[in-house]
Amino acid sequence: MQDQKRISTLDALRGIASFAVCWFHLTNGNAAFLPDGLLKTSGMYGWVGVEVFFVISGFVIPYALHRSNYKLKNYGRFVLKRVVRLDPPYLAAIAITVMLNYLSSALPGYRGEQFQLSLTQLILHLGYMNVFFGYPWLNVAFWTLAIEFQYYLLAGLLFPLCASQDKKLIIPLLVCAGVLPFVFPSPSFIFHYEFLFLLGVVTFQYKINVWSRAVYLSLLFTLGIGTFYTLGGLVTVVGTLTAFAIAFIEIRNKVLGFLGTISYSLYLLHGPVGGRVINLGVRYSHSVGGKIIALIIATGVSIAAAYLLYRLVESPSQVWSSAIRYRRDRRVEAATGDLVSEAGI
Amino acid at 326: Y
Q: What is the pLDDT along the chain (345 residues), one digit of tens a residue?
A: 334 356 889 999 999 999 999 999 999 999 889 888 999 999 999 999 999 999 999 999 999 999 999 999 999 999 999 999 999 999 999 999 999 988 877 776 666 667 788 899 999 999 899 888 888 999 989 999 999 999 999 999 999 988 888 888 888 888 888 899 998 898 999 999 999 999 999 999 999 999 999 999 999 999 999 999 999 999 999 999 999 999 999 999 999 999 999 999 999 999 999 998 998 888 887 888 889 999 999 999 999 999 999 999 999 999 999 999 887 654 444 443 444 455 556
pLDDT at res. 226: 95
**Would residue 344 count as lying in a domain?**
no
**Would residue 46 count as lying in a domain?**
yes
pLDDT at res. 335: 41
**Would residue 2 count as lying in a domain?**
no
**Residue 312 DSSP one-character state:** I
Q: What does the alpha-carbon distance between residue 259 and residue 306 come to, in Å, rounded to a whole number?
A: 9
**Would residue 331 count as lying in a domain?**
no
pLDDT at res. 338: 43
pLDDT at res. 343: 53
Q: What does the alpha-carbon distance between residue 158 and residue 240 come to, in Å, rounded to a whole number?
A: 23
User: Residue 175 CB: number of other CB atoms within 10 A?
Assistant: 10
Nearest by Cα to 32 from 267, 284, 274, 270: 284
Read off the pTM.
0.91
pLDDT at res. 271: 95
Nearest by Cα to 240 from 219, 256, 260: 219
**Would residue 74 count as lying in a domain?**
yes
Instruction: Note whether 345 and 267 are within 8 A (CB).
Output: yes
Nearest by Cα to 325 from 333, 335, 312, 314: 335
Q: What does the alpha-carbon distance between residue 325 and residue 69 come to, in Å, rounded to a whole number?
A: 11
**Would residue 174 count as lying in a domain?**
yes
Quote the number of domains for the chain: 1
**Would residue 333 count as lying in a domain?**
no
Instruction: Note whether 312 and 304 are within 8 A (CB).
Output: no
Question: Apex CA 14: angle with CA 294 and CA 125, to 5°?
Answer: 80
Exposure of 171 by Cβ count < 10 A (0-12 exposed, 13-18 middle, 19+ buried)?
exposed
**Would residue 103 count as lying in a domain?**
yes
pLDDT at res. 327: 78
Domain assignment of residue 227, given as a range: 17-322
Q: What does the alpha-carbon distance between residue 264 and residue 335 come to, in Å, rounded to a whole number?
A: 25
Q: What does the alpha-carbon distance between residue 51 and residue 36 come to, in Å, rounded to a whole number?
A: 25
Spatial CB neighbours of 208, under 8 Å, sequence gap ≥ 6: 66, 163
Amino acid at 283: R
